[in-house]
Amino acid sequence: IALVDTPAATVSFLGALVVIVCPALAVLVDKKKMGFVDAPQTWIAAITCLIGVGVLELGGDGGFALEGADIGWGDVWSVLQ
């Protein structure tokens, strides 16, 4: 459903946000200490992953447009996947 309104690059980037959501859920649900001091490898890996996916998928035409905040229903479905 997301690919009807949103470019594949944006859908894949938003899908990669799971690398941030999972540690955040570990903090909220399991009450784990996941600060940068407690688990630096988790946050370094998450940031590296997002930068890598961003460079590969959002560079070029049809990517994520920040200037116009071009957010549609496809973006919402991508995040909810």
**pLDDT score for 80:** 73
User: Considering Cα of 73, then 74, then 77, then 79, what sign does the dihedral take?
Assistant: negative
**pLDDT score for 3:** 78
**For the whole model, what pTM was predicted?**
0.57
Cα distance between residue 11 and residue 5, in whole Å:
10
Cα distance between residue 23 and residue 7, in whole Å:
27
**pLDDT score for 24:** 84
**pLDDT score for 60:** 58
Cα distance between residue 10 and residue 70, in whole Å:
11
For residue range 9-67, what is the model confidence (pLDDT) as tens digits?
A: 778 777 888 888 888 888 889 888 888 888 889 889 888 887 887 777 666 555 555 55
**pLDDT score for 70:** 63
